[in-house]
Amino acid sequence: MRQFLLFFRKEMLEMGRSFKWLWVPLVFLMLGIMQPVVTRFMPVILESSGNMPKGMTITIDPPSGMEVMAQTLGQFNSVGLMILVLSIMTLISGERQSGVSQMIFAKPVSYLSYAAAKWAIMLSLVTASFVLGYAGAWYYTVQMIGSVETAAALKAALLYMLWLWFTGSLTLFMSSLMNSAAGIAFVSLGAAILLSMASTWLPRYAYSPGFLPEISVQWLQASEKPTGDLGAAILCLMCMIFFFMIAAYQVKIRKSNV
Amino acid sequence: MTRTLLQVRDLSKRFREREVVKGITFSIAEGSCAALLGPNGAGKTTTIRMLTGLLQPSGGSIKLLINGSPTTDRRPYIGFLPQMPVFYPWMTGAEFLLYAGELAGLTNREAKRETGEWLEAVGLRDEGKRRIGGYSGGMKQRLGLAQALIHRPKLLILDEPVSALDPTGRKDVLTLLQRIRRETTVLFSTHVLHDAEEICDEILMIRSGAIALQGSLEHVRRTHSEPVIRLEVGEDEASRSWLTAACSKNFVIHSEVSGRRAKLRVENVEQASLALMADAASRRIMIRSLEAGRSTLEDLFLKVVQS
């Protein structure tokens, strides 16, 4: 436990000094705020762009608050996911590659604590960034667009956060297996996108974690409530535990880059 | 009688088809300073990584005896400085030492005290507050030494501690090692033989993964060093041909000539040098220098490596 705290404190310090604690939440906040703001001012933006024929009028049905929240999740799922993967991809492989790990693992340290600290810092960063972004989106939506149904929005947020946790775990897992940063980012992002896309043709009872973003969008938008959310959530948590175990084992058997 | 601290038996490592370490056996006594010598690629780093637990051996056993009985986890008793140590560039020297000390099991208070002491000891007291990213190679090496020693290990293992340093950095580290070895058992690998001769008392020479020679420095010197005469003559043709002729004298066992220098292995240095000088004087040959001595560790190393 003590070593876990030591490792965790070091990770916090590192993320602080490399400004990841600043820019990752900031990107999520921007993404969150952008959607309601852009939606609100869309007619004005179109009007001032000035290349429309005279006399033409466009009427855009103002979307509901829930719809805007759902679109925000879509934003998180593209740019947000990428930023997330890029900011944590070298968390494990970096130390092994540079050689710092040789000095760390020559000391009587626990590999499980080491891996757990990496997971804890990833979950902290993901959670803080997403909560900030989602709260920003919620606030601006309520201010500019319309009301948001609290229970549904919270449920959607919870499910969506699970999806982000899953992607983060996948990235750390890849980081424990591979050395090249580009490879880690490519495989993790690719797998996340594939899983997400597969949700359109996979049957619901497959409970793939890739359903989570879609389910959370449905919570916000659809009139009828989605099914399969519990199954997908449980499978997602199981995957995360599996990834963690394998990564901890990888850390143990591959202490340095030889 | 000194106690054995480290006992290695039939240690081997293979990477797929390639056997890098081929069953080496040795032991290190408490309080001694051992040098692991060998050319590049002989398996020094692999051996050291296995000793520190960073690499799983393919075969054999490594026993670290604490108070006479082997320990299951060697790591608390070992301090390790890798070849070209890498740190977190965003940390300061003092922060890294504190982190290393606490990871090694010191309490926060102990670690703070030791950090101060070791920064002082390795001469980084003022630089301790600066980020490691701005350190020179020599400073990093000294910081690496401090982090290896912060938990007062029984055995200090160093992988090529001075090879990458400039003369001043080398001297700093060697001076530190001289001091450390009074308190701790040291094992270090090097290919700089001069350093080994200066501070160690045991040597282990390995060649392509197997031990070629081992023993105390004294013993190795006594049994393996041979009487040698080093000769240097003038540039002119007469001198050179005399040098070549000198090599084939009957008291010369083995000779190496390079330009105007020659190294002659002889049976009796005194007789041989007198004979050489008399011969040179009678033929009016200028001897620039003549050194009568014994072969060095370096000669032995070359002999072992090339044989």
More confident residue, B130 or B217: B130
Residue ranges of the alpha helices (H) in chain B?
A: 44-52, 93-103, 108-121, 137-149, 167-180, 193-199, 217-224, 237-247, 269-282, 297-306
Q: Quick one: DSSP state of residue B16?
A: T
Q: Can you give the pLDDT at residue B288?
A: 86
- Is B236 inside a domain boundary? yes
Cβ-contact A120, A8 below 8 angstroms: yes
- Is B96 inside a domain boundary? yes
Q: Are residues B190 and B279 in the same domain?
A: no
Q: Are residues B148 and B296 in the same domain?
A: no
- Is B7 inside a domain boundary? no
Q: Which of B202, B222, B242 is the last residue of a domain?
A: B222
Q: What angle do CA B136, B141, B98 make, to 5 degrees?
A: 100
- Is B14 inside a domain boundary? no
- So what's the ipTM on this one? 0.86
How do residues B176-231 score in pLDDT, each as one tens digit? 888 888 889 999 998 888 888 888 889 898 888 888 888 888 888 888 778 888 88
pLDDT at A206 over 90: no
Q: Are residues B190 and B140 in the same domain?
A: yes
Q: Are residues B37 and B163 in the same domain?
A: yes
Q: Are residues B76 and B177 in the same domain?
A: yes
Q: Are residues B252 and B278 in the same domain?
A: yes
A256 neighbourhood in chain B, CB within 8 Å: 49, 54-55
How do residues A234-250 score in pLDDT, each as one tens digit? 999 999 999 999 999 99
Q: Are residues B144 and B239 in the same domain?
A: no
pLDDT at A146 over 60: yes
Q: Can you give the pLDDT at residue A257?
A: 65
Q: Can you give the pLDDT at residue B178?
A: 87
Average pLDDT of every residue of chain B: 87
Q: Are residues B110 and B242 in the same domain?
A: no
pLDDT at A44 over 90: no
How do residues A11-21 score in pLDDT, each as one tens digit? 999 999 999 99
How crowded is residue B166: how many other Cβ atoms within 10 Å of its Cβ? Answer: 11
Q: Which of B187, B222, B257 is the last residue of a domain?
A: B222
Global pTM reads 0.86
**A41-45, A114-118, B64-68: range with highest mean pLDDT:** A114-118
Q: Are residues B111 and B246 in the same domain?
A: no
Token pair for residue A71? 């679109």
pLDDT band at B118 (very low <50, low <70, confident <90, very high): very high
Cβ-contact A39, A121 below 8 angstroms: no
CATH of the domain at B253: 3.30.70.100
- Per DSSP bridges, beta strands B155-159 and B59-66 are unpaired
A13 neighbourhood in chain B, CB within 8 Å: 90-91, 95
pLDDT at B135 over 60: yes
How do residues A95-143 score in pLDDT, each as one tens digit? 998 889 999 999 999 999 999 999 999 999 999 999 999 999 999 999 9
A258 and chain B in contact, CB less than 8 A: yes
Q: Which of B172, B192, B222 is the last residue of a domain?
A: B222
Interval B48-61 mean pLDDT: 91
Q: Can you give the pLDDT at residue B166?
A: 83
B147 neighbourhood in chain A, CB within 8 Å: 103
**Closest chain B residue by Cα to residue A10:** B99
Q: Are residues B178 and B251 in the same domain?
A: no
Interval B77-83 mean pLDDT: 93
pLDDT band at A258 (very low <50, low <70, confident <90, very high): low
CATH of the domain at B187: 3.40.50.300
Q: Can you give the pLDDT at residue A120?
A: 96
Q: Are residues B88 and B193 in the same domain?
A: yes
- Is B156 inside a domain boundary? yes
pLDDT band at A50 (very low <50, low <70, confident <90, very high): low
B95 neighbourhood in chain A, CB within 8 Å: 13
Q: Are residues B265 and B125 in the same domain?
A: no
Token pair for residue B153? 């290990």
Residue-range definition of the domain harbouring residue B250: 225-306
- Is B116 inside a domain boundary? yes
pLDDT band at B293 (very low <50, low <70, confident <90, very high): confident
Interval A82-97 mean pLDDT: 92
State the best of A107, A113, A256 to mutate against chain B, taking most chain B CBs within 10 Å: A107
B92 and chain A in contact, CB less than 8 A: no
Considering its fold, how many domains does chain B have in total? 2
